[in-house]
Structure 1
Amino acid sequence: MKNNQATTSSKIGMKGAKIIVALMAGYSMVYMDKNMVSTAIIPIAKQFGFSTSQTGMIMSMFFLAYTLMQIPSGWLADKLGAKRVLLISLATICFFSYAFGLASSLIFFFAIRFGAGLGHGGYPPSCSKAVAENFSKEKRVMVQSGILTTSGIGGLMAFLIGANVIAINWRYGYLLLGTLFLIAFFLVLAFLPKDQIKKKSDRNKVNETKVPFTKVITNRNVLILFVVMILLNITYYGAMSWLPSYLTKTYSLSLGAAGGILAVNSVSQVIGSYFTGVILSKWFPGRQKTFILICSIISGSSILCLIIIHNIALALILVALIGMTTISAFTATFTWPQAILPQSIIGSSVGIINTGGTFGGFLAPMIIGALVQNAGGSFVVGFIFIAITIFVGGLSVFAVRVSKN
């Protein structure tokens, strides 16, 4: 066993770097897509005369499909291996990204975003499985945190590149996005090892006890983290979906100017994701609960301040704080299974936990869209709602039981 551990560690050189680059490329595109639609929806709503409820539903259809695919994709990643599921996922998103640029009716928009969500559903659990397959246990949280910096990288690409292309013609933005997904597909195809799950299962057959899926889905910690992810992601995706509309309306900004402010949010997410791994390893080892609560309090307070103040400079600071602390709370929760659950069920457990996250993403745009419409276009009630959900999410992590080794 020690030989295997040493071999694994020694491969975190060029081979490990290639795996990380490939996974980050795909994840960057995943987050670019999630962020870009919130900008694209502004000219789409104007062109087709959609209400805030209808545009909220377009964004929510994506998360409905994303939610439905999380558990099946996690199970498939455990059974078939991460690489196959990653490739299917990227190919599906690529197809629907190109198709989105051809949409011309509300039903078409619903159907295409639903299809894209099915593709997206395969990426997080299979990416987590790929990390578990290719890196030693003590390196997984740090590697996973590094990969999740792509939430900010994808946001930067969406708001600096995507927003400017969308300002010319939103259809061109999705032609660009489909092409970038195609590049990510070929990077995963080239850099991830083949059939690694078969080799590992043969090597560990004697030592590894198979855990029935029913035990995974009824695991106390898995279920609690599922609920926590619903709450955190209502805030994360609620802010991500509606901040562009809020900023353009409140401060009379152009799409490009709003994109510039949201690019700051994306930079802060890169910093937040990366330093989450460092902070948890060096200053908060085994204290994820305290870290997540602190991040949740700062994020919720910043959201409340954003709707109280009316100053563009302060708004810029608050948007950066919201991005950094919300993604830090999310990253700490998302990477936690790598430290407290066995490798054999990582795909399935992350699929279940992230189902909560994507369900939160499904609820957020729809609920906030309805709240904004009922408030006559005011974002105050909607933003109070997402501030409260992250406060509750931060407190909920204290129900997780972690065994002391």
Structure 2
Amino acid sequence: MSVSQGALKESKAKLLVPKAKGSREAMLITALMAGYSMIYMDKNMISTAIIPIADQFHLTTSQTGLMMSLFFLGYSLMQIPGGWLADKIGYKKVLILSLSLITLFSFTFGFAGSLLVFILIRFMAGVGHAGYPPSCSKGIAENFPVERRTFIQSLILSTNGIGGILAFVIGARLIDLNWHYGYYALGVFFAISLLLVIFFVPNSAPTPKIKEQPKQISFKEVITNRNVLILFIAMFIANVGFYGNMSWLPSFLKTKFDLSISTVGTILAFNAVGGALASLFAGVLLTKYFAGKEKALLLGSCILSSLLFIGIVFFDSLAPSVVCLYLLTFLLTAIFVTIFSWPHKILPEKVIGSSIGIVNTGGTLGGFVAPMTFGVFISMAGGSFNIVFITLAIAIVVCGLITLTVKIEK
């Protein structure tokens, strides 16, 4: 039996599995969204915090890029084990473990005082982050019917905008006062989200009893599955674009247009709103208009994104650059949501945690490569950011072309 056939048979059996209802469903979604909002707040806030940290400790762009990249190395190393654990011991336990680790290392980052300590703490924070996305996806698969999962996934991923708003409105202003304050506040927010998960996320659902059990799918079959590998590569390239853009935007805007950190934070807060809307919009598109046409949506979005990256390079005034930035964030978010939610349609529920873990590992590896590599590029280019955006323009088109090779069984 193929993986896709197993998914089809399993989806028919889902009627026998109890699903989240009413207020319980609302609280589950709220708790998962709260944790994800903090995840994205953390990812966004570091790109602003490195500006005063670099000034205080006299760090180069290569060193600050390394600091941001080592977070994603920890994330990448633990992503697949995190997905495997979500499948084996239950998604709630992994959610709690992940948020507990991130809470701890958010607080400790505020006390750091050297490059080595910054790197070590960010690496460990990445380890904590790794378990959240696959266990969250596992929770969605266990608590919602298959026809609703893509929209619920996109709804929860819309927290990239909420996290961005928190990072660039609250976080940036605290960082402008004293960067330590930003991370003390972040630790408090993570602690609150941890309590929400403890009290409002249900434990893993029991295995349904059905007459005909589908063939068990091994982890080896998942990790060597053609579509999983293609989505892994596509997510890698997409996140090189997403995090390459996100990591250096505050520094780019501050340097090119001589803006304050608070002004940069305001611009990027509105940008985060666009990211949230893009996640919701992508969910509607994938559910109602592009069901089965994901390739067309991805390729079109990638080509338009490439043109916008070029626009950022060639516009010398703030207004058109910001317009390009807002449109670009909208499209990059739609690309990410489409790739991230695709496994819900082509893989069985029992391996969603593992498959999302593998696919998202591609994304976190992209996050690892982008800040460090582009930091070196910027140093080599004498502080110019143009090489970053030109490279990203090429990479994102390659991402769209790769997704055309996904094989969909009728």
Partners of 1:132 and 1:208 in 2: how far apart? 17
Partners of 1:2 and 1:355 in 2: how far apart? 29
Q: CA deviation at 1:347?
A: 0.4
Equivalence for 1:41: 50
Contact 1:132–1:343 (CA under 8 A) maintained in structure 2: yes
The letter for the 2-side match of 1:371 is F
Q: CA deviation at 1:12?
A: 3.6
**What do the CA deviations read for 1:187-229 (whole angstroms, capped 9, x no partner)?**
0111111242xx1x25359524321111111000000000000
Q: CA deviation at 1:66?
A: 0.3
Equivalence for 1:216: 222
Equivalence for 2:397: 391
Partners of 1:323 and 1:203 in 2: how far apart? 44
- Structure 1 residue corresponding to 2:353, chosen from 334, 347, 357: 347
Partners of 1:121 and 1:23 in 2: how far apart? 15
Distance 1:205 1:53, change over 3 A: farther
The letter for the 2-side match of 1:99 is T
TM-score (norm 1): 0.96
Equivalence for 1:60: 69
Gapped runs of 5+ residues in structure 1?
A: none
Partners of 2:278 and 2:114 in 1: how far apart? 38
Does 1:300 pair with 2:306? yes
Displacement over 4 Å in runs of 4+: 1-4, 6-9
Equivalence for 2:190: 181
What are the within-5 Å matches in structure 2 for residues 99-178 of structure 1?
Answer: 99-178=108-187
The letter for the 2-side match of 1:18 is M
Equivalence for 2:82: 73
Partners of 2:266 and 2:397 in 1: how far apart? 28
Gapped runs of 5+ residues in structure 2?
A: 1-10
Q: CA deviation at 1:3?
A: 9.5
The letter for the 2-side match of 1:294 is G
The letter for the 2-side match of 1:229 is M
Distance 1:4 1:273, change over 3 A: closer
Does 1:87 pair with 2:96? yes
- Structure 2 residue corresponding to 1:263, chosen from 260, 269, 272: 269
Q: CA deviation at 1:315?
A: 1.6
Partners of 1:374 and 1:4 in 2: how far apart? 55
Contact 1:303–1:322 (CA under 8 A) maintained in structure 2: yes
The letter for the 1-side match of 2:15 is Q
TM-score (norm 2): 0.95
The letter for the 1-side match of 2:397 is F
The letter for the 2-side match of 1:45 is A
The letter for the 2-side match of 1:403 is E
Contact 1:233–1:360 (CA under 8 A) maintained in structure 2: yes
Partners of 1:370 and 1:43 in 2: how far apart? 19
Partners of 2:112 and 2:67 in 1: how far apart? 12
Contact 2:32–2:136 (CA under 8 A) maintained in structure 1: yes
**What do the CA deviations read for 1:83-133 (whole angstroms, capped 9, x no partner)?**
000100000000000010011011100100000000000011111101001
Contact 1:262–1:319 (CA under 8 A) maintained in structure 2: no
**What do the CA deviations read for 1:270-324 (whole angstroms, capped 9, x no partner)?**
1100010101111111111110111111222111101100111112211111110
Q: SS at 1:268's partner residue? A: helix
Figure out how many residues of one structure are paired with residues of the other and give that number: 400
Q: SS at 2:62's partner residue? A: helix
Q: CA deviation at 1:386?
A: 1.4
- Structure 2 residue corresponding to 1:377, chosen from 364, 368, 383: 383
Q: Percent of pairs identical after alignment?
A: 50
